[in-house]
């Protein structure tokens, strides 16, 4: 905690999807470390409420209503952050949405929305902020939030698996590119397990959805509610690992490691995958 505070105090961080869940936890913890925080989210009321909470505790914060799927909106976010604080030291791409259902039954517009937010939003963040970081020539960080689901695909939530796998590829490519540029920009990918939030509840399937889909969504939500980290606990682990210089930020190794070796063995052995949910 103290090493993270020493490293990040006074730095400027932009967090997308900041108004709730993982994003809000990261924002509160960043403020507690003495960082100056820019909160970006589509929910104006919740974002402003979090800004007020953070500033009441003595931290500097700016709330910017932002649709990350819109490149112009993310560029405006970068301009506003730089105008307010003079530059940005850390970008946390976190905004994301969820959908449940059989992959061929999820509506085209929902697939499109998830690709535009969960992948396009991250790309828009890189395009807006990385050039500014490179021009500044000072130490900086890009943190992309993926998921345990970015390494372990799941049935009945294919758009989420697809986009979180994509975040892994995007982040690793960016990491290599920063090495090629010899830039002072550290890149990290975060792989959360279950965190207490409303992401599953907000994507609740409709009443006409097959019962196995509804049951799967409810199981995920119950597991997150009962066994998930709080957003603040998750944030503390994330910032501690970023401060250590880790590329792989794994706040809940117990949720990832037991399944990762069998999955690797399955791939190397060319074994046909077998569903792990239901009969």
Active site residues: 160
Rounded distance between C-alpha atoms, residue 25 and residue 19, angstroms: 9
- Calculate the CA dihedral of residues 208, 213, 216, 222 and round it to 10 degrees: -20
Beta bridge partners of 41: 65
Strand order in the sheet with 90-93: 61-65, 36-41, 12-16, 90-93, 140-145, 185-190, 248-249
Both tokens of 49, joined, read 């409420």
Beta bridge partners of 61: 37
Closest to 222 measured CA to CA, from 202, 201, 203, 206: 201
């Amino acid at each position: 905690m103290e090493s993270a505070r020493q490293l990040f105090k006074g730095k400027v961080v932009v967090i997308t999807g900041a108004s709730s869940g993982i994003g809000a936890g990261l924002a509160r913890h960043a403020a507690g470390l003495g960082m100056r925080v820019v909160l970006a989210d589509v929910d104006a009321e919740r974002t402003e409420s979090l800004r007020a909470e953070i500033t009441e505790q003595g931290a500097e914060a700016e709330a910017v209503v932002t649709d990350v799927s819109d490149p112009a909106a993310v560029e405006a976010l970068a301009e506003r952050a730089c105008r307010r604080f003079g530059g940005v030291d850390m970008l946390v791409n976190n905004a994301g949405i969820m959908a449940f259902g059989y992959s061929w039954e999820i509506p085209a517009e929902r697939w499109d929305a998830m690709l535009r937010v969960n992948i396009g939003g991250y790309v828009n963040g890189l395009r807006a902020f990385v050039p500014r970081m490179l021009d500044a020539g000072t130490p900086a960080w890009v943190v992309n939030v993926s998921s345990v689901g970015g390494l372990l695909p799941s049935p009945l939530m294919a758009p989420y698996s697809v986009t979180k796998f994509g975040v892994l590829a995007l982040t690793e490519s960016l990491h290599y590119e920063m090495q090629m540029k010899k830039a002072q920009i550290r890149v990290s990918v975060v792989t959360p397990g279950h965190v207490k939030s409303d992401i599953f509840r907000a994507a609740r399937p409709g009443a006409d959805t097959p019962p196995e889909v509804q049951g799967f969504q409810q199981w995920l939500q119950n597991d997150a509610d009962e066994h998930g980290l709080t957003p603040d606990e998750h944030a503390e682990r994330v910032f501690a690992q970023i401060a250590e210089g880790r590329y792989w930020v794994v706040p809940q190794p117990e949720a990832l490691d037991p399944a990762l070796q069998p999955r690797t063995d399955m791939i190397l052995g060319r074994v046909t995958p077998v569903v792990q949910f239901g009969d």
